[in-house]
Structure formats: structure tokens, C-alpha cells
Amino acid sequence: MAGNLSDILADVPLSSVPAGSPSVSEAPAIACRELRKVYGGAEPVIALAGVDLAVAAGEFLGVLGPSGGGKSTLLHLLGGIDRATSGTVSVGGRDVGGLSERELTLYRRRDVGMVFQFFNLLPHLTVRENVELPRLLDRRPDASSRAGDLLGRVGLAHRAAAHPYELSGGEMQRVAIARALVTGARLLLADEPTGNLDTRNGDQVLALLDEIRRERGVTLILATHSHAAAGRADRRIEIRDGRLVAG
């Protein structure tokens, strides 16, 4: 693993981040049609079984369901982390499933912000460097100033020089939120973002996500097993055994 930020950036060729590559519309609407995901093997596992879904631009959607029910798979397909077995995923009018691997990389880097249960911060980078990284990978000269602004917004400007291991769980998740937004992404996907937090910190993180969603007009999709967390959303759906059963 690279030991510092300079090493990481040295591995990214300039040719991989052309300035003119396509991006989603200013505030994406989402449409999924007959979305299926099957993981192969001796006994294939159906993670999604023909899901139809529409999400309005700027909406806060809560996706409920038990572990293994398909909600994380749905977010991974929306975020371009995985490809559907069949069906279509459209974000801002773009067919995400039809993107090449190179286009998917740029889509994930520029157009989608993701917040995970386990934070996924790089331990050898400082808080500021973790937030800067997505924008630096795109060779954007304003990475430092954008990171500073967002760290101030999430209340962690004073922790910019700290490393993740020096932070509380709630602080690490706020850093992850800042990192997810630093590229200017208009789609924010949060997969069990309170799963590793106590009730107080979890409530603070959910409130922060909703506040930023309203301020910036982003579309927010929250996957959770918690009815209380999903209750903050504008609308809720439920996925069980790969099928949309409510919403």
C-alpha cells in the first residue's frame, strides 16, 4: 500500500482523468427497471429480483430491510460499484449499466458520494488528506480549499491534521461525509452509516446528512435496518429477499 498521499497520486496517470468526460445532470433523478442481480456459483444467489424504482431529484429515500435482503446491492448498482445481471439503472438520464469500465471509474469518482458503515478512511493519511483525495485524483487544484470548507461544515476543521485512529467513531463518519461531498457529487449513497455508532452519534450523523442534503440539493439514499433512521427520510421503501415489498 502507498505510504503517503504523494505516492497514491503518483500512481494515477493524468490521461485517466480527462477534463471533458461526461457527468450526471446537476441533480440526478434515478430510474431502475426490472433490476436483477444474481451471484453465480453452484447455488446462485438472487440478490435483487426485478426491482422497479424511481427517485426524484433532491429526494431523501430510506431503504429498509434485513441484512442480506438486497439493500446494499441496490446501492452498489446505483453507485457503479457493481453491474446488474439484467435490467437498467439510469441516473440523471445516463444508463449506468452501459458505461465502460473507464467511464464507471470516473462516474464513481465524480458523480457519486458514498458513506459506508466502516468509514473506509485511509489510516496513513490525515483527515484533510482523506477528504482531499477524491478531488486530487481528478487533478483539481482547489482540493485543499474544498476539503477545508467541508471539514468546517461538518465541525472538524480543528481535526484536519489528525489521523483516523485519533478520532471517535462519530468524527470518522463526519470525515467520510465530507469526503463523499468534496467532488461536488449530486448523488449521496449512505449504506448503514450509523451501524457502528452509538445512538447519540448516530442521530447526529443522520441529522448532518439531511441538513447537507437540503443545503446542497443532493439526492440522498440511505440503506438501513433501522425504522427510526429511515423515518427521517421523505419516503421509505422496503426490500426483502431481493424484492421491493413496500414503498
What's the rounded Cα separation, in Å, for the pair 70 and 50? Answer: 11
Determine the pLDDT at residue 18.
42
| Percent residues over pLDDT 70 in the chain | 88
Please say whether the dihedral angle defined by the alpha carbons of residues 211, 212, 218 and 220, taken in this order, is positive or negative: negative
pLDDT band, very low/low/confident/very high, at 25 (cuts 50, 70, 90): very low
- Beta-carbon contacts of 238 under 8 Å, excluding residues fewer than 6 positions away, are 63, 64, 65, 244, 245, 246, 247
pLDDT in tens, 120-161: 899 999 999 999 998 898 888 888 999 999 999 999 999 999
Which residues, 6 or more positions from 160, have their beta carbon under 8 angstroms from its beta carbon? 126, 127, 128, 147, 148, 151
Mean pLDDT rounded to a whole number for the chain: 87
Q: What is the pTM (predicted TM-score) of this model?
A: 0.86
pLDDT band at residue 166 under the 50/70/90 scheme: very high
Look at residue 245 in the predicted model and tell me its pLDDT.
Answer: 86
CA distance 197 to 148: 24
pLDDT in tens, 49-93: 999 999 999 999 999 998 888 999 999 999 999 999 999 999 988
Residue 30 has pLDDT above 90, yes or no: yes
The CA distances from residue 55 to 31, 116, 236, in Å, are 7, 21, 11
| Helices 169-181 and 143-153, packing angle to 10 deg | 130
Nearest-CA neighbor of 148 among 134, 137, 138, 159? 159
In the chain, the domains with their CATH numbers are: 26-246 (3.40.50.300)
Q: Which three cell numbers stand for residue 196?
A: 457502528
Which pLDDT score, from 0 to 100, does residue 22 have? 41
d(CA 121, CA 128) in angstroms, rounded, equals: 11
Nearest to 27 by CA among 187, 220, 177: 187
